[in-house]
Structure 1
């Protein structure tokens, strides 16, 4: 018996599994495309709506 380290005969076929595209972070970010943009857009809408409605209610209460 030789003291050579274990050599995986399927290493070339499994190399794609270690590619950065298939990392957990990449998988999670591609699971919800556009989620970050949607959160920012919705937050901006809510803030603008609250600001607009508060101004409108203040104007209506003075009359």
Structure 2
């Protein structure tokens, strides 16, 4: 037992910290879930709205 290297008795309990789910990259990727879909949907809405409104002639109303 004297020749064996030091073994951490808490290594098993601390192993979850090294799991890929808890990495910084995974944390930042899940920081704003759905943000990419929301940006695409809003961009599509703005494009469709601008195209639709640019083809439509303004109505002149006389009160």
CA displacement at 1:3 relative to structure 2: 6.3
CA displacement at 1:29 relative to structure 2: 2.1
**4+ long deviations beyond 6 Å:** none
Query: Cα RMSD between the aligned structures?
Result: 2.3
Higher percent of residues as helix: 1
Hey, what does 1:13 align to over in structure 2? 13
Of 26-35 and 15-24, more deviation after overlay is shown by 26-35
* Distance (whole Å) between structure 2 residues aligned to residue 6 and residue 56 of structure 1: 78
Gaps of 5+ in 2: none
Q: How many residues align?
A: 58
